[in-house]
Structure 1
Amino acid sequence: MNFNEVLDQRRLLPLYTVKDLEECLAVGKCLVEGNLPIIEVAFRSDYAAEGIKALSSIDGLLVGAGTVKTTAQAQQAIESGAAFLVTPGLSAEVVEYAKEQNVPIVAGAVTPSEIMQANQLGLTCLKFFPADVYGGISALKALHGPFFESTFVPTGGVTLENYKEYLALNYVKAVGGSFILPKELLKAKDWQGLSSFIKGL
């Protein structure tokens, strides 16, 4: 399955920061077992590229890179095996590079001007981050009027308590965040529990 198919089917994008390669492989296997075969590896640690490489060895898991802010990071991510990119904001340079490499990209855009710029770059699926700071559900409802052709992936302040409210909006393609991989289950290394939790979302 490709990036769009997985997102359309499950509408969840787990965000993960790699700190330990052994743990990251266990997490990747839990996602496949939990029928959510996708992971966004944040470029927030020195292990990001290594983590992408390791996770890409898991059959059936679609691995992408998140928190990509520069073309150099995008290049490193793609060379390590990233099948998609997610950026916190809008960089025309990074978007054009991803398009040249034929790699899907979800770029961050929260204001009307940014959304217009993203649309002009050919992007219609956009990251809405940090969702809670920029008005959450009410902001998305307001933006949908003029930007009815765009879909959004809200992250930042999306939680277990409110993610279904976001998903009730049909122009929300998916929601993302680390809430999909609860810290307490990771800390306890409760892989069976994590697989079950993911399956239940």
Structure 2
Amino acid sequence: MTTDVTFEQLFAGRRIMAIFRGMGAERCLALANTAWDLGIEAVEVPIQSAEDVDALAAVVEAGRARGVGVGAGTVLTVDQVEVAASVGAAFIVSPGFDADVVRAALDAGVPALPGVATPTEVMAARALGLTWLKAFPATALGPDWFRAMRGPFPEVSFVATGGLDAGNIATYLDAGVRVAAVGSALEDPEQLPRLAALLG
């Protein structure tokens, strides 16, 4: 049931993920190509509207041509899992933990990255065999949360999401975060080049 090997492959060497929310297909596609050109290969497109699904489909197709998988974000329901799978999403991301959504994704052959913010939620996700989890909202949790979680859950890899940008992302990576995701900050055109510079 676990999909950890897949996430190890999807995020291998990729410490930063770009989230393109509500930008429309044309802008999402342009920004995804810019991110890829800069070396930021991990990309997520949240699907909160029909237009978002169109954007996801366009970015998935472009990613496939580059050999890069694209994730579907803000997946809240089983129906959205099916939509994400139908357009070829490589993985799904949720803001919280819902066992039914996780099971539907795994049944569809799509790795699930549910959101957690407490040890109880981490344990519930671990009970389903997951060791890659999204921590949200990251800046509300703070870097010390990630350091603390390493004690009881050394096997868990966290993707930090929420409030991160080029100015604070290094702090979270230093705290043990495996992947740091940047979303709303990408409204600033300077963010992608600055993030790429952090990749060294």
Is the 2:136–2:160 contact (alpha carbons within 8 Å) kept by the matching residues of 1?
yes
Provide the residue aligned with 1:168 in structure 2.
174
User: Under a length normalisation based on structure 2, what TM-score does the superposition of the two structures give?
Assistant: 0.86
For the aligned residue pairs, the C-alpha RMSD in angstroms reads: 2.0
Instruction: Describe the shift of the 1:97–1:159 C-alpha distance in structure 2 as closer, same or farther (beyond 3 A).
Output: same
Matched, 1:94 2:101: yes
Amino acid at match of 2:162: G
Provide the residue aligned with 2:127 in structure 1.
120
Instruction: Describe the shift of the 1:82–1:146 C-alpha distance in structure 2 as closer, same or farther (beyond 3 A).
Output: same
Distance of 1:62 and 1:34 partners within structure 2: 16
Distance of 1:195 and 1:87 partners within structure 2: 23
Distance of 2:109 and 2:192 partners within structure 1: 31
Deviations 1:73-93 (A, max 9, x none): 111111012111011101111
Matched, 1:177 2:182: yes
Q: Percent identity?
A: 34
1:145 is paired with a residue of what secondary structure? coil
**What displacement does 1:62 show?**
1.9
Aligned positions, number: 190
Amino acid at match of 2:167: E
Structure 2 residue corresponding to 1:44, chosen from 34, 39, 48? 48
Runs of at least 5 residues in structure 1 that lack an aligned partner in the other structure: 186-192
Amino acid at match of 1:159: D
Provide the residue aligned with 1:63 in structure 2.
70
Distance of 2:126 and 2:136 partners within structure 1: 17
Is the 1:41–1:65 contact (alpha carbons within 8 Å) kept by the matching residues of 2?
yes
1:56 is paired with a residue of what secondary structure? helix
Deviations 1:142-178 (A, max 9, x none): 12211111111111122222111111134x2101121
**How do 1:1-201 and structure 2 match up within 5 A?**
3-58=7-62, 59-60=65-66, 61-133=68-140, 135-170=141-176, 172-178=177-183, 182-185=186-189, 196-201=193-198
Distance of 2:50 and 2:87 partners within structure 1: 13
Instruction: Describe the shift of the 1:65–1:91 C-alpha distance in structure 2 as closer, same or farther (beyond 3 A).
Output: same
Distance of 1:23 and 1:9 partners within structure 2: 26
User: Under a length normalisation based on structure 1, what TM-score does the superposition of the two structures give?
Assistant: 0.86
Is the 2:135–2:158 contact (alpha carbons within 8 Å) kept by the matching residues of 1?
yes
Instruction: Describe the shift of the 1:149–1:30 C-alpha distance in structure 2 as closer, same or farther (beyond 3 A).
Output: same
1:32 is paired with a residue of what secondary structure? helix
Is the 2:95–2:114 contact (alpha carbons within 8 Å) kept by the matching residues of 1?
yes
